[in-house]
Structure 1
Amino acid sequence: ELGAYILSQGHFHIAYVGVTEEDVSVGLKRRQGFQKAVQMFAPSSNVTYYKTTFHVKDAMKQVSEILSGNRPTVIVCAT
């Protein structure tokens, strides 16, 4: 649902920050759900996937790096 909503709001340059896929519920299934929404609603969108840990400081560092470059229109954080 989140992926569909974000795409419906016109966001097509997206950064997705999630944990590794070793965590099936959070890392794998949430990412797969988001990817499915992208494929259904905006297959030509530009999504960059980033991996982080469950630690807030690690996620903050990752987001800081994302914001220092070519900024996306939205950052999705799935933890």
Structure 2
Amino acid sequence: MIEALVKDPETRTLRIRVDAVTFTSDLHARVDYTLFSDATKVGPDGPGASVRQDDTWKISAKTVCSLTKYGKDVPQAPIC
């Protein structure tokens, strides 16, 4: 799914502006963001989630899953 998101012509134009981050624990955070495609705001603004793994903050699988709908041919992974 991640590879398909990166290669898809529709999702390659997506950009995310992080508007706020609220740490809910040492390992989890809520991320408020605005989603853009070709500099135009698209979709609903989202609260997303981030998780800390090996001292690196990463976007959560659930948040990545929510972005697949913006692709032309991006299948959802079973985890979604």
TM range (shorter): under 0.3
Structure whose residues are more often helix by fraction: 1
Structure whose residues are more often strand by fraction: 2
The higher relative CO (CA closer than 8 Å, separation ≥ 6) is in: 1
Q: Structure 2-normalised TM-score?
A: 0.26
Q: Structure 1-normalised TM-score?
A: 0.26
